[in-house]
Amino acid sequence: APAAAGAALGAPELGAAGLTWAQAAAIPTPYFTAYRALNSTRRFAPGCAVLVHGASGAVGIAAVQLATRKGAFVVGTASSEAGRKAVIAAGANAAVGHGDAAALRAALAATGGRAGGAAAKPGFDVIVECLANANLGTDLTLLAHRGHVAVVGSRGAVEVNPRDLMSREASVAGVALAFATDADLAAMMADVGAWLRWTSAAGGASPLVGKSFEGLAGAAEAHREVLAHPGGAQGKLVLVLPPPAAAAGADAKAEDVDD
C-alpha cells in the first residue's frame, strides 16, 4: 500500500506531508473510495450538505475530510463518543450517534436555507452510506430534492419505500473502486493529492490510523477487528510487516487492511 500511495501521489509529497508508513497505507483504498462515492453525483459541490453514515471508519473519515475541503456542510455518524470526536477532528460540522434519531433530525434541520445550498428545504444532497442494510431506508427520507445516496458498504438485504425516492426524484448508486478506469484513478490521485497538500499546509487532519497489527501473525486479528470493531470503528486498520531479510535494517512497511 505505501508503494501504491507513493506511485499515486509521489513519495516526496508523502514525505513532505510528514506521513508515517502507516498513514501512507491508510490513503489509497479509503480515500479513492471516498472520492468515487462523493463524486458519483453532480450534487457534490461547494455549499452542499453531506451526511456520512459510518463516518469514523477509514472510508468515512476520508469522506469527511474530502467533503470539508470542498466546502460542504458535513454531518457524520459514529457509534462511540471517541468515534464522534474523531469525526469532528476530521472537519465535520456535526457528529451524532448512529441511533440518535433526535440529533440526526436536528442536523437535518440545520441543512435548510444554507448559503450556497441546492435547496431551501432541509435535506442532504449527498449521503455516503457505509452500512446500507441498516440505514438505506432511513437515508431516503433524509435526502434533499434530487439528493443522492452512494452505497460503499452493506452486510445484508434492506427494505426501502420507493415512494421516498419518487417524492424527491432521488437516486441511489453502488460504489466499487474495482471498476475505476485509468482516467478515474488519475482524477482520484489529483484530488487526494490536492487535499494532502491543502491539509498539510494548514496543519490540518491527517489520515487516521485506528490500530496497527504486527506481522502476518496479526492478520487474522486484524480481520476479526474489521468485522466486529468492538468499541466502534476509528480510522484505518494497518498491518505492519517487518522488512525482508535482504533489506535488514530498513524501516518496517505497512499494508492496509480493507475496512
pLDDT of residue 11: 53
pLDDT of residue 210: 82
Q: Find the angle CA(229)-CA(232)-CA(238) to the nearest 5 degrees.
A: 55
Which carries the bigger pLDDT value, residue 243 or residue 238?
238
> What distances in angstroms separate CA 170 from CA 9, 12, 41, 50, 150, one per listed residue?
34, 42, 11, 14, 11
Q: What is the mean pLDDT of the chain?
A: 85
Which carries the bigger pLDDT value, residue 121 or residue 89?
89
- Quick check: helix, strand or coil at residue 220? helix
> How far is 147 from 76, CA to CA, in rounded Å?
17
Confidence check: pLDDT of 251 > 80:
no
Which carries the bigger pLDDT value, residue 8 or residue 125?
125
Confidence check: pLDDT of 175 > 50:
yes
Which carries the bigger pLDDT value, residue 209 or residue 48?
48
10 Å CB burial of residue 254 (0-12, 13-18, 19+) is buried
Q: What is the pTM of this model?
A: 0.84
Tens of pLDDT, residues 15-43: 556 788 888 888 999 999 999 999 999 99
Tens of pLDDT, residues 156-169: 999 999 999 999 99
Average pLDDT over residues 90-119: 81
β-sheet with 236-241: strand ranges across: 209-214, 236-241, 253-257
pLDDT exceeding 70 applies to what percent of the chain? 83
Pairing of strands 171-174, 94-97: unpaired
Of the pLDDT bands very low, low, confident and very high (cuts 50, 70, 90), residue 219 is confident
> How far is 66 from 194, CA to CA, in rounded Å?
10
pLDDT of residue 222: 84
Of the pLDDT bands very low, low, confident and very high (cuts 50, 70, 90), residue 63 is very high
Confidence check: pLDDT of 14 > 90:
no
What does the DSSP assignment read for 132-169?
A: HHHHHHHHHHHEEEEEEEEE---SS-----HHHHHTTT
- The C-alpha cell that represents 110 in the structure block: 440545520
Q: How many helices (DSSP H) and strands (DSSP E) are in the chain? A: 11, 9
Cβ partners under 8 Å of residue 169, min gap 6: 145, 146
Confidence check: pLDDT of 2 > 50:
no
Maximal CA-CA distance, the chain:
63
Positions of E strands within the chain = 49-53, 73-78, 94-97, 124-129, 143-151, 171-174, 209-214, 236-241, 253-257
- Tell me which of 125-129, 177-181, 244-248, 252-256 is least confident: 244-248
Tens of pLDDT, residues 108-151: 998 985 544 445 679 999 999 999 999 999 999 999 999 999 99
Average pLDDT over residues 236-258: 66
